[in-house]
Structure formats: C-alpha cells, structure tokens
Amino acid sequence: MFHQILFLMSAALTLICAVAVLVTKNMMHSCIFLLGSLLGIAGLYATLGADFVAVSQIMVYVGGVVILMLFAVMLTGGKDFVSKAQNLLGLAPSMGNKWTFSIAGLVAVVFGLTSFLLINNVTKVVTIKTQNDEFVSTVNQLGHLLVKNHVLAFEISSVLLLGALVGAAIIARPKRQ
C-alpha cells in the first residue's frame, strides 16, 4: 500500500512539475519546477526498488544540476524578478501563492516518503528475494559489479568527468588582453 501511494504521488508530482516547466515564463520558477520533477523521478526510482539510482538522482541532479542552474539564473539576472505591481506599490516580494504552496507541500511529502523508503531499505538486512518479498537493496550488488566486472567503464567515466571539469575551468578563466 505504501509503495502504491508513493508511486502515485511521485507520478503526479513529476507530471505536474514537468508541465509547469513548459508553461511558466519565469526562469526561476521553471528551475524550481524542474527540481520538483526530478524529485518525483527519484520517488519513482525508489518505488521500483532502485535505491542506488534514486539516491544518485537526488545527489547529482537535484543537488548539483538544479542548484547550479539556480545560481546561474540568479547571477546572470535572468528576467526581472520583481513584478510591476510590486514596483508600482512598493510592496515587498511575496514568497508565493496558493498554487506554489500546494506544489511545495506535494514536493515535501514525496521527498519525505522517498527518504523514508530509501533509509528503510538501506537499514534492512539484505535477504534473497522471493516472489512475495519487497524489493531488496541494490547498492551491494551494484558495488560488486562496478568494482569487479565493469571497472573499465567506471574508470572511463571518471576520466570523462575529469575532462569536463578541466574544460569548464578553461572556459570560465578570465581572458587575457
């Protein structure tokens, strides 16, 4: 029952936020909706029993990419973040409306349930899966496969990421006169 509720809430969060990314015109709101969509996908991974992929989704995409996008939007200025009514009336910027608070509540519930499911799967003793058992943790199996069978692919991906980091540093360095 818990898995079905988490699956339905994650699917709803993913779809609602993905449509909101397409519809909204404000870049900052679009980044926030992308954050909600990626958290919903992590919840879907958690309900499928892929706890390693769900944690990777949260750490890499939610923790890295979306935060990087938010900083890029805030540092470059993007579009105006203050509405015309706030400028005209001298009002303080509001933090949201009923729509954004309801989406934020759904994100918080899905993130909490996903975190609970992931922590619960990690703390369980790994047993052999039968037809009636719940999903077992995949972290141990993935670790063994990466270190033993797929070590070359693991090392090539680390060199690729190192190359991307060096390329980003070269692009971001100041230009000489």
pLDDT band at residue 14, thresholds of 50, 70 and 90? Answer: very high
Whether the pLDDT of residue 127 is over 60: the answer is no
**Averaged pLDDT for residues 22-48:** 86
- Judged by average pLDDT, the poorest of 19-23, 56-60, 124-128, 156-160 is 124-128
Whether the pLDDT of residue 6 is over 90: the answer is no
Q: Give 3-state DSSP helix, strand, coil % of the chain, rounded to 5.
A: 75, 0, 25
Cα angle vertex 145, ends 143, 150, to 5°? Answer: 120
88: Cα separation from own chain's centroid: 37
Q: Tell me: do 144 and 70 sit in the same domain.
A: no
* 133 falls within a domain: no
Q: Tell me: do 143 and 119 sit in the same domain.
A: no
- The pLDDT value given to residue 32: 83
Query: What span, in angstroms and rounded, lies between the C-alpha atoms of 2 and 55?
Result: 19
- Count of domains for the chain: 2
- The pLDDT value given to residue 79: 52
CATH of the domain at 123: 1.20.120.1200
Query: What span, in angstroms and rounded, lies between the C-alpha atoms of 5 and 2?
Result: 5
Whether the pTM exceeds 0.75: the reply is no
Q: Tell me: do 9 and 75 sit in the same domain.
A: yes
**Averaged pLDDT for residues 139-165:** 82
Higher pLDDT, 41 or 158: 41
Q: Tell me: do 50 and 101 sit in the same domain.
A: yes
Domain that holds residue 163: 138-177
Whether the pLDDT of residue 62 is over 60: the answer is yes
Read off the pLDDT of residues 66-120 as tens digits, 9 standing for 90 and up. Answer: 777 777 766 665 555 555 655 666 655 555 667 777 888 888 888 888 888 777 7
The continuous run of DSSP H or E covering 7 comes out as: helix 2-23
